[in-house]
């Protein structure tokens, strides 16, 4: 049996350029990377993430090297090479190797082949003049922070004292965080299992474990049997926030609206004997909920439906608790999905805010009096957090706010003594508001 040769760098660069082009045309990075041939996919994903975290600077440098925008495929390949060449934390490849392999990728890609000499000239000029070229784009906010201008302005407006910290944190890869299945194991027990196989890790929160180095889930002991799941520590707060303080006199009827891929549904079921209805508008993503629950040995009523279109799926019995993980910008998880910042448009924010408001107003009536509704978004934009809930409470006298975390701001590994809504920690950006429905 012959072993396939390892992928060559030019092949990976060729695929990364294709991923970038797909993202620029509106396709998510997850989908674009998923279409890459399996043998190339791990390397392409790693390189794509590096490129997306330096894309603002790369685009500014390309404009210096070629003021007239080249054809899209050529532009994408140039930006890929420039992004990797100008990574501040260093690239895994020598500069001349990157240039040579980028030119080779150009020669072997039909849309870029006629311009291989142009690609070569641009990149070699960059190697000769990189200090001067970088100095020319230093004052460009998009080049400095590697986010779209509107995004930078929004973060700066929302968090005037912390905006630089938040933008820097967004460019740090997030750690791999596990959630133990409380029905099957404990933090201490699982940490010992990891230690036995040489994996360094430590506890976070009540159910979380942070791995020092990420790994494939197939390498995690007991993953296939449902002992652990992958879930950021900020997201692990949702289930206990909703369940703590609720009555244990009867099995609770819980709605997880917008539930896919099912991580929060599973955590609810791991922590309590509750009857969960899990909704998602996407039938394909509902299948992901089933798969995750099956692996964990759990069950819920899964329905493919629009949560706001209540008449199409509700059985008329009020819920004791509702978890609304609402569609949002994803501005709190860009370190894990760096494509989001380049996919989102400023106009998207207003549309998402309207969707969130509609879901809140439609779900409150089907909550039993005295019941709880937990609203959350993986966003750091105030419009999707405190501003949304402030408007909702002013328009719905039957809803009252309970103690809740509010905005959880990601700071990465940066330490700060400044006071924010949350303690400084290495987690994704989230917003939580716990509401209670007044009794009539």
Dihedral through CA 312, CA 316, CA 317, CA 323, nearest 10?
Answer: 30
Q: What residues contact residue 97 under an 8 Å CB cut-off, 6+ apart?
A: 9
Q: Hey, is 114 helix, strand or coil? A: helix
β pairing state of 253-257 and 228-230: unpaired
C-beta of residue 103 within 8 angstroms of C-beta of residue 119: yes
Q: What residues contact residue 281 under an 8 Å CB cut-off, 6+ apart?
A: 258, 304, 305, 306, 307
C-beta of residue 316 within 8 angstroms of C-beta of residue 285: no
C-beta of residue 409 within 8 angstroms of C-beta of residue 382: no
Query: Alpha-carbon distance 19 to 113, whole Å?
Result: 18
Active site residue 378: yes
User: What residue ranges in 127-200 does DSSP mark as E strands?
Assistant: 177-180
Query: Alpha-carbon distance 12 to 363, whole Å?
Result: 46
Query: Alpha-carbon distance 410 to 370, whole Å?
Result: 33
Q: How far is CA 70 from its chain centroid?
A: 31
Terminal CA-CA length for the chain: 73
The structure tokens listed for 253 are 């009827």
Query: Alpha-carbon distance 92 to 71, whole Å?
Result: 28
Q: Hey, is 373 helix, strand or coil? A: strand
Query: Alpha-carbon distance 239 to 275, whole Å?
Result: 13
Catalytic: which of 86, 328, 376, 378? 378
Q: What angle do CA 415, 420, 426 make, to 5 degrees?
A: 45
The structure tokens listed for 361 are 């107003």
C-beta of residue 58 within 8 angstroms of C-beta of residue 51: yes
List, by residue number, the catalytic residues: 378
């Amino acid at each position: 049996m012959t072993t396939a040769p390892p992928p060559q760098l030019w092949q990976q660069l060729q695929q990364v350029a294709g991923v970038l082009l797909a993202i620029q045309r509106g396709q998510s990075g997850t989908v674009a990377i998923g279409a890459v041939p399996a043998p190339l996919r791990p390397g392409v994903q790693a390189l794509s993430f590096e490129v997306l975290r330096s894309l603002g600077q790369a685009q500014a440098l390309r404009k210096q090297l070629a003021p007239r925008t080249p054809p899209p495929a050529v532009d994408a390949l140039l930006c890929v090479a420039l992004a990797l060449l100008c990574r501040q934390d260093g690239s895994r490849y020598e500069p001349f190797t990157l240039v040579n392999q980028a030119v080779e990728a150009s020669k072997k890609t039909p849309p870029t082949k006629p311009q291989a000499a142009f690609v070569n000239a641009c990149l070699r000029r960059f190697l000769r003049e990189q200090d001067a070229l970088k100095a020319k784009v230093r004052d460009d906010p998009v080049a400095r922070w590697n986010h779209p201008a509107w995004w930078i302005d929004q973060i700066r407006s929302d968090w005037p004292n912390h905006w630089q910290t938040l933008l820097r944190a967004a460019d740090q890869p997030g750690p791999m965080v596990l959630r133990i299945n409380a029905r099957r194991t404990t933090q201490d027990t699982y940490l010992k299992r990891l230690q036995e196989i040489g994996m360094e890790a430590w506890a976070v929160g009540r159910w979380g474990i942070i791995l020092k180095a990420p790994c494939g889930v197939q390498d995690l002991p007991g993953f296939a049997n449902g002992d652990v799941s992958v879930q950021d520590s900020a997201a692990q707060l949702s289930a206990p926030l909703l369940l703590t303080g609720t009555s244990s006199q009867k099995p609770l009827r819980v709605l997880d609206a917008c539930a896919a891929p099912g991580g929060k549904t599973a955590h609810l079921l791991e922590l309590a004997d509750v009857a969960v209805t899990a909704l998602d508008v996407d039938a394909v993503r509902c299948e992901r909920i089933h798969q995750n629950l099956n692996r964990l040995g759990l069950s819920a009523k899964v329905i493919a439906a629009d949560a706001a279109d209540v008449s199409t799926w509700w059985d008329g019995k009020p819920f004791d608790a509702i978890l609304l993980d609402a569609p949002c910008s994803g501005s709190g998880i860009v370190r894990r999905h760096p494509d989001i910042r380049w996919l989102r448009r400023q106009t998207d924010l207003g549309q998402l805010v309207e969707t969130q408001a509609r879901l809140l107003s439609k779900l409150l009536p089907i909550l039993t009096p005295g019941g709880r509704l937990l609203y959350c978004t993986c966003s750091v934009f105030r419009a999707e957090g405190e501003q949304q809930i402030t408007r909702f409470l002013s328009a719905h006298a039957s809803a009252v706010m309970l103690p809740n975390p509010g905005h959880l701001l990601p700071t990465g590994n940066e330490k700060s003594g400044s006071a924010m809504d949350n303690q400084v920690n290495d987690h994704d950006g989230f917003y939580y508001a716990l509401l209670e429905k007044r009794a009539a």
